[in-house]
């Protein structure tokens, strides 16, 4: 556990992790708390004002020129001969739960005490929390769908969790209120980026857990499900312990009063 950025990892993985934890402690937590207080989730079926906008070829070309003139980096959009266009989107990863990545451990394939050259790999999975403030730029096409963006992000971080566990959100700020809307699988993030312009306050993209109201248990592996059962058992035992302690204190107070 890092004292600055609160990053937690397995003790065997500490030597493999490289993070810049130079920021003051507590800064990220305060920002997250403020934003959560302002956030308002909207329904995926409620299209944004940009999603309702239709552009012809001439308007697309004009929008791309306006977009490129407003940015201060080399992350330009480019119009292709077939009418499609390419560009960059920036995605903020705000995941509360740990993600799983593959880990391979080499072990001898012969009996102990008789070393040999042959080895075989044992596939394992390692879970860890992504650091707060993780951001990733992706170069995509105008026809790239939100579901494909999620798949690309998981591949970039070699995450092996089921993509259905995650959802891509559009985030906007208006009247000191933060609005989040979950994108449908077929929506095109680069098109939204072009229509909204380069301003992150007007529109930004966030990858979060896919909170559907009901847990899709089929998306989890057997080891994950067993781990959830252990966590539930520990939470239940802790809850029972606290209840017994509270009732014992009440009983003691009443006996003292008697």
Domain spans in the chain, listed from the N-terminal domain onward: 57-100+124-214, 218-257
Sorting pLDDT into bands at 50, 70 and 90, what band is 98?
confident
Q: Which CATH architecture has domain 57-100+124-214?
A: Roll (3.10)
Mean pLDDT of the chain: 79
Percentages helix, strand, coil for the chain (3-state, rounded to 5) are: 35, 25, 40
Phi, psi angle pair for 64, to nearest 5°: -65, -40
Q: What angle do CA 47, 48, 49 make, to 5 degrees?
A: 120
Distance CA 138, CA 156 (A): 10
- At residue 103, the 3 state secondary structure works out as strand
- What is the C-alpha radius of gyration for the chain, rounded to an integer number of angstroms? 24
Instruction: Give the dihedral sign, CA 167/168/173/179.
Output: negative
Predicted local distance difference test score (pLDDT) of residue 1: 45
**Cα pseudo-dihedral 27, 31, 34, 39, rounded to 10:** -160
pLDDT at 190: 95
pLDDT of residue 28: 43
User: What number is the average pLDDT over the span 52-60?
Assistant: 82
Q: State mean pLDDT over 106-126.
A: 50
Task: State what percent of residues in the chain have pLDDT above 70.
Answer: 70
pLDDT at 5: 58
For residue range 163-195, list pLDDT tens digits in order: 988 999 999 988 888 888 999 999 999 999 999
Q: Which two tokens stand for residue 126?
A: 């390692």
Burial of residue 213, with CB atoms counted within 10 A of its CB: 0-12 exposed, 13-18 middle, 19 or more buried: exposed
d(CA 19, CA 22) in angstroms, rounded, equals 9
More confident residue, 23 or 224: 224
How sure is the predictor about 60, in pLDDT bands with cuts at 50, 70 and 90? very high
């Amino acid at each position: 556990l890092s004292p600055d950025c609160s990053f937690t990892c397995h003790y065997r993985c500490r030597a493999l992790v490289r993070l810049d934890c130079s920021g003051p402690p507590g800064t990220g937590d305060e920002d997250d708390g403020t934003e959560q207080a302002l956030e308002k989730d909207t329904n995926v079926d409620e299209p944004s004002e940009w999603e309702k906008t239709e552009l012809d070829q001439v308007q697309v070309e004009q929008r791309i020129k306006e977009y490129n003139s407003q940015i201060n980096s080399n992350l330009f959009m480019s119009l292709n001969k077939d009418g499609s266009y390419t560009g960059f989107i920036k995605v903020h990863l705000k995941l509360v739960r740990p993600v799983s990545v593959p880990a391979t451990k080499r072990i001898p394939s012969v009996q102990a005490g008789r070393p040999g050259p042959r080895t075989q790999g044992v596939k394992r999975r390692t879970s860890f929390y992504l650091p707060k403030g993780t951001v990733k730029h992706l170069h995509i096409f105008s026809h790239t769908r939100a579901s494909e963006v999620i798949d690309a992000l998981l591949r970039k971080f070699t995450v092996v969790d089921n993509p259905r566990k995650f959802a891509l959100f559009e985030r906007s700020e208006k009247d000191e209120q933060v609005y989040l809307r979950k994108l449908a699988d077929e929506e095109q993030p680069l098109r939204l980026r072009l229509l909204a312009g380069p301003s992150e306050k007007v529109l930004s993209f966030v990858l979060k857990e896919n909170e559907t109201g009901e847990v899709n248990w089929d998306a989890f592996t057997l080891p994950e499900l067993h781990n959830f059962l252990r966590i539930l058992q520990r939470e239940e035992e802790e809850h029972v312990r606290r209840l017994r302690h509270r009732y014992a204190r009440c009983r003691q107070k009443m006996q003292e009063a008697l």
